Amino acid sequence: MPAPDRPIRLGLVVNPIAGIGGRVGLKGSDGEEVVLRALALGAAPEAGARTVRALERLDRGTTRLELLVAPGPMGEDAARAAGLAPLVVGELGGDRTTAEDTRRFAAAMAERGVDLLLFTGGDGTAVDVLAAVGDAVPVLGVPAGVKIHSAAFAVSPEAAGTLAAWVARDVAAGARAGFREAEVLDLDEDDYRRGQIVPRLVGYLRVPREPRLVQARKAPSPAGEDAAARAIAADVVEGMEPDRAYVLGPGTTIRAVAERLGVPKTLVGVDVVRDGRLLAADVGEDALLAIVEEGPAALVVTPIGGQGFVFGRGNQQIGPRVLHAVGREHVVVVATPWKLASLAGMPFRVDTGDPRLDARLTGHVLVTTGYGDRAVYRIEA
Amino acid sequence: MSVEDRGTWPVGPKPPIRRFHQARWDEPVIFELSQPGARGVLPPAVEPGIREAVGDPAAELPPSVRRTDPPALPELAQLHVVRHYARLSQENLGVDLNVDVGQGTCTMKYSPKVNDRLATGPKLADLHPLQDASTTQGILEIMWRLEQLLKAISGMDRFTLQPGAGSVAIYANIAMIRAYHASRGDDGRDEVITTIFSHPSNAACAKTAGYRVITLYPDADGYPDLEALKAAVSERTAALLITNPEDTGIFNPRIDEFVDVVHEAGGLCAYDQANANGILGITRARDAGFDLCHFNLHKTFSTPHACGGPAAGASGVTEELAPFLPVPTVEFDGSTYRLDHDRPSSIGKLRPWYGVAPNIVRAYAWIVSLGAEGLREVAETAVLNNNYLMHRVLQIPGVSAPYAQGRRRIEQVRYSWERLAAETGVGSEDLGLRAADFGTHYWTSHHPWIVPEPMTLEPTESYSMGDLDEYAAILRRVAEEARSDPDLVRAAPYASTVHRADHGPLDDPDRWAVTWRAYRRKAGLDG
C-alpha cells in the first residue's frame, strides 16, 4: 500500500452521558429518565475526561493528523482540553444529546472517509455507531459506559489512544493496519437492572487488532486469525456426515464454515446446512427444534463476546429443547487460538436457562482450533 | 533525555544505572562491500613438479561437480572481512557484553572460553567424518562418554547425539513413537497431546509428523490440567509430548500422574527437557515414568545457540525404544569404538554424519568440569537466581506473574505488564526496546501469545546478585518512565545502532527475503 499524500484523518464522537448511571448504581444510562435520575443522585459525567486521557496518547510529533470531532461535549470539548485543534463537523440539535446525535455524527465522519473513528461510550453507544457506519470505516471504542460487553472497546482509554496512534502511524507509512471484526452486544437495561443478563448479538464493527494478543508488530501475519478460521472451517467441513443437519451458530469463525461450503451465512443469526446445502436461514428456536427432531443433527458453535459463553449469549435460539434433541456428543465447539487467548484463563460458560442442562454441559470439551488441531477447554455453568 | 541524565559523568559520581551507547557503523551488507578482484587468501600456484606428475588437478573432478560460472560471492581482502564482522559484533547485545537474562526459555548462560578452545583446536577441526573409525577413536570416545553422562542425568537407557537442534530431537522422538506403534501393528493412534505452555516445537513436530494435536489449557489454579488430560486420552492417543517446567517456569507437580494416565490409554510419553536447567540432579525423566526425553545441549549444557544452528540436541529412550534410534549409534566393545549403521528398525538419519561434533565436545567438557555435584549446584543456583530476580521484579508496580499465583517458579518466569499497559498505554515491546538504552534488553514471548504484554526472564546460574540487581533496576527505571513520560518510552531506543526496524516485510510474502538473491529480486535491484 502506498503512503497517502494527506494527513491521517481521525474521527471522534463522544456520548457525554455514557457511564453516568454506573457510579450511582443505576446499571446503565439508557433513557432520559435514567439520566435525569443519575444527575439528581449527583453523578458527574466522566466520558469527556476519559476521552482526554485517550487523546493524550496520540502521536503529535511524527504523524500528520487531522481530527474531525462532533461539536461541544460530543467531542470538540475533549479535543480542545487535550490541546488539539480539531475540525468540528455539524451542529448540535438541542441542549441534550441523544442517541440520534451519535448516529448522525458517526455517519458524517464515515462519509468523510476517516481512517479511524474513535467513539466514547458503552454498549449502547456501540450499537448506535454500528447502525450508523456498519463496516464502512474502522472504529474503536474508548470505554466509558456502565456496560461494556461488546468487543469493540480497548481495555482502557490510554490503550485506545495508543491503538489509534499505531493505526495512524501504520496508515501514514503505507503499511497494512490489522483489523478484526468485533462483536457488538447489547442488553436490555430494564432486564439488566432486574439481574437478568440476556445480551443480544447486534452485529460486528471493524476494529484495530489488539496487539497484546498478536504480539504487537512481531505478529507472524496480520491475517493469522482469518487463516485460523479458514483452517477450522476446513476441519469442520471435512468432518460433516451425509444426511446430518448442521446448525451453524452466529460468529465470524462459523461464517468461515459457511464460506467453505459456499452458502450464505446470517452473521448474527442461526442457519442450518445439510449435505453442503443451505436448509434454513436465520431460524428461531421453534423452527430449529422442528429440524433437529426430524433427523440426525449437530450444532456448530463458538464462544460469543468476551465472557466465553458457548450457549445462552447471542445464540439463544439454540435453547435447552434443541440441545436435548441434538445431544451433547454432537456439539462441535470451534474457536481460534486468539479467541481462547482473549479469555485470559477464564473457562467457557453456559447459561441455557435450564440449570440441570447447564450442569450436564460443564466439564471439559474438545475445541476445534485449526485443521487437525484441538484444545481441551473447561466449561463452567 | 533530560539535562540531569547527561550529567557530568564520568567526572562526577557514577550514576545508579550504567550509561550506555551502542556502536553505530552504518555497516553495509557484505555483498555491497565486494570489490571485484579483491582476495582474502591467495593460494600458491601448483608447483611445476606436482603439475608434471598429476597434470591439471582440477581435471580429476567429474564434470557434474564443476561450475561453469564463478559463484556470486563477495570479493574482499582479509582486513575488510575482519573489520566487517568486528563492527557487526559491536552493534549487538549478548552474554559477553551485558546482563543477558531477557531471552527467557533460551537459557542464555555463559559458555566458558576454554571449551571453545577445545572445540576449535586442530585436533577436532581437522577431522573428517568420512575418516576410518580407527583414526577417529578420540571423538567417538567423547560421544560415547557423553551418552553415558546423559543417561545418568536422565535415567534413560540409550541416547542419540545426532539432532542438530532441540526441535530435531523432538522430531526424532515423535518419529520413534510412530515407529514403535507401527511395529506393534497399533495403527489407530493418530493423536498427540501437549499443553499450551509446553515448548511449541512439540505441537509443531507432531503436526509435521502427521498427527492431530490436542492442546491442554491450564486448570483453575494455573497448573497443567490433569482432568483435561483424562478427557483427552483415548485409543487414538499416540503420545504425550510435554515440557516440565513449562515455559512459564511452573513445575507440574503431578507429572507422574500425567504419565500414568497416558500409559493406561496405551500411549507413550516424551519429556521435553529444553527447560532442564533448574532440575539437573534433582529430578529425572525416567523416574517420572517417561519413555523418551530430549535435551538441548545449547541451552542446558552451555554450548552456543549459533543463531539458528547448528546447535545440538540429544534424544534419550528406554531400552524398549532403543531399536528405533537414528543411525548410526556409537558402540563400545571394551576396547574400540565404532559406528553402528546396521539397525534394521531405525527411523533412519536426521541429518548427515553423526552429530555436531564441536558442540558435543563443548557439552562434554562442561559436564565433566562440573561433575555430578556441580550440575546440581548449577540447578540450585539457577533456581535461586530466578526466584531472587522474581522477588525484585514483582516489587515494580504494574507487573505480575500470571498462573499459579503466589507460587515460586523454577528457572524462568513469564511476567505480564498488562496492568502497566492498561494504565499507561505503554506495552511490553516498548519497555523492552527502552531497556536497550541501558545496554540490555528483553524479549517478550514466543507462541502461545496468551499472557498479555509478556516478558520472559531466565537468569540461569551465570549471573551474580549484582548483575540481577542491575537488571531489576533498569526494569524499574523503564516502568517509571512509562508512567512519567510514556512518549519517551514509546519512541525508544535512542542509544542503539538501529532505531526501530520495520517488521512489515516479515508479514508480506512479496517483500520477505531470506537470501541476498531474493532480496535483490524482490527489491527490483536486478533490473
Residues of A in contact with B450 (CB under 8 A): 340-341, 344-345
Q: pLDDT at position B392, please? A: 97
0.90 surpassed by pTM = no
Is a pLDDT exceeding 70 seen at residue B81?
yes
A335 within 8 A of A349, measured Cβ to Cβ = no
Instruction: Report the alpha-carbon distance of residue B353 to residue B359 in Å, rounded.
Output: 14
Amino acid at B451: V
Q: How far is A115 from chain B (nearest CA, A)?
A: 19
A360 neighbors A327 (Cβ within 8 angstroms) = no
Interchain proximity A161–B452, CB inside 8 Å: no
CA-to-CA distance for A260 and A258, rounded, in angstroms?
A: 5
Q: Is B426 an interface residue toward A (CB < 8 Å)? A: yes
**d(Cα A177, Cα A140) in Å, to the nearest integer?**
13
- Rounded to whole angstroms, the Cα distance separating A154 from A167 reads 13
Residues in chain A with CB shorter than 8 Å from the CB of B224 are: none
Residue A353 corresponds to which cell in the numbers above?
436457562
| pLDDT of amino acid B5 | 52
Which residues of chain B make contact with A59, given a CB cutoff of 8 A?
A: 487, 490
* Tens-place pLDDT, residues B174-215: 999 999 999 999 999 999 999 999 999 999 999 999 999 999
Euclidean distance between CA atoms A336 and A329, whole angstroms: 21
Contact B217 A214 (CB under 8 A): no
Give, as one character, the DSSP assignment of residue B511: T
Q: Nearest chain B Cα to A57, which residue?
A: B425
**A129-138, B10-19, B163-172: which has the minimum mean pLDDT?**
B10-19
When pLDDT is averaged across residues B371-390 and rounded to a whole number, the result is 98
The C-alpha of A379 sits at a distance from chain B's nearest C-alpha, in angstroms, of 11
Asked if the Cβ–Cβ distance from A222 to B216 is below 8 Å, we say no
Strands A348-350 and A297-301: unpaired
**Which of B337, B365, B295 shows the shortest CA–CA distance to B121?**
B365
Closest CB to A376 among B232, B418, B504: B232
Cβ-Cβ contacts under 8 Å for B171 (sequence gap 6 or more): B163, B205, B208, B209, B350
> Which residues 289-328 on chain A approach chain B with CB closer than 8 angstroms?
none
Whether the bond into B493 is cis, omega within 30 of 0: yes
pLDDT tens string, chain A, 381 residues long: the values are 566 778 889 999 999 988 776 655 565 666 777 777 776 666 667 889 999 999 988 877 667 889 999 999 999 999 999 999 999 998 888 778 888 999 999 999 999 999 999 999 988 899 999 999 998 999 999 988 766 778 888 877 888 898 898 888 878 877 666 788 888 887 766 665 555 556 678 889 999 876 543 333 333 333 467 788 999 999 999 999 999 999 999 888 999 999 999 999 988 889 999 999 999 999 988 999 999 999 999 999 998 766 788 987 778 789 899 999 999 999 999 998 888 877 777 889 888 878 889 899 999 999 999 999 999 999 988
Chain A residues with CB under 8 Å of B423 CB are 156, 158
Task: Flag whether residue B214 sits within 8 Å of chain A, measured between CB atoms.
Answer: yes
A211 has a chain B CB within 8 A of its CB: yes
CA distance A100 to chain B (A): 31
Contact assignment for B449 to A340 by CB distance below 8 Å? no
Number of A–B residue contacts, CB under 8 Å: 119
- Reading the block at residue B423, the C-alpha cell is 494504565
Neighbour-count burial of B319, counting CB atoms closer than 10 A to its CB (0-12 exposed, 13-18 middle, 19+ buried): exposed
Whether the CB of A155 is below 8 Å from some CB of chain B: the reply is yes
Q: Give the integer Cα–Cα distance in Å for A165 and A167.
A: 5
Q: Using CA atoms, how far apart are residues B356 and B359, in angstroms rounded to an integer? A: 6
What are the backbone angles phi and psi of residue B352, rounded to the nearest 5°? -65, 160
Cβ contact A376–B215 (<8 Å): yes
Say whether residue A2 is in contact with chain B using an 8 A CB cutoff: no
B227 contacts chain A (CB < 8 A): yes
Residues of B in contact with A215 (CB under 8 A): 429, 444-445, 449
Q: What cell does B97 get?
A: 557484553
Return the H-helix or E-strand segment holding B340: strand B337-340
ipTM of the complex: 0.81
Instruction: Suggest the residue from A167, A343, A362, A364 to mutate for an interface test with chain B (most B CBs closer than 10 A).
Output: A364
Closest-CA residue to B472 (of B99, B105, B169): B99
Among A146-155, B264-273, B290-299, whose mean pLDDT is lowest? A146-155
For the four alpha carbons of B99, B102, B104 and B106, in that order, the dihedral sign comes to negative
- Grid cell in block for residue B129: 567424518
List for chain B the helix, strand, coil content (%; round to 5): 40, 10, 50
Interface test with B, best of A60, A212, A328 (most B CBs within 10 A): A212
Pairing between strand B337-340 and B329-332?
antiparallel
Q: Is A344 on the interface with B (CB under 8 A)?
A: yes
Which among B424, B453, B507 is the nearest to A212, CB-wise?
A: B453
- Is the CB of B509 inside 8 Å of chain A's CB atoms? no
Q: CA-CA-CA-CA torsion for B482, B487, B490, B496, nearest 10 degrees?
A: -100
Query: Which pLDDT tens digit goes with each residue over A172-185?
Result: 877 666 788 888 88
Nearest CA in chain B to A374: B214
In 3D space, the residue among B409, B399, B410 whose CA is nearest the CA of residue B455 turns out to be: B399
SS3 B454: strand
SS3 B30: helix
- Return d(Cα B215, Cα A360) in angstroms, integer: 23
| DSSP E strand stretches across B41-98 | none
SS (H, E, C) chain A: CCCCCCCEEEEEEECCCCCCCCCCCCCCCCCHHHHHHHHHCCCCCCHHHHHHHHHCCCCCCCCCEEEEEECHHHEHHHHHHCCCCCEECCCCCCCCCCHHHHHHHHHHHHHCCCCEEEEEECHHHHHHHHHHHCCCCCEEEEECCCCCCCCCECCCHHHHHHHHHHHHHHHHCCCCCCEEEEEEEECCHHHHHCCCCCCEEEEEEEEECCHHHHCHHHCCCCCHHHHHHHHHHHHHHHCCCCCCEEEECCCHHHHHHHHHHCCCCCCCCCEEEECCEEEECCCCHHHHHHHHHHCCEEEEECCECCCCEEECCCCCCCCHHHHHHHCHHHEEEECCHHHHHHCCCCCEEECCCCHHHHHHHCEEEEEEEECCEEEEEEEEC
By the CB < 8 Å criterion, does A378 face chain B? yes
Alpha helices in B110-214 (DSSP H): 113-120, 122-125, 137-154, 166-183, 201-208
Backbone angles phi, psi at A89, to 5 degrees: -105, 120
Q: Which residues of B touch A219 (CB under 8 A)?
A: 507
The cell numbers describing A274, all together, are: 445439510
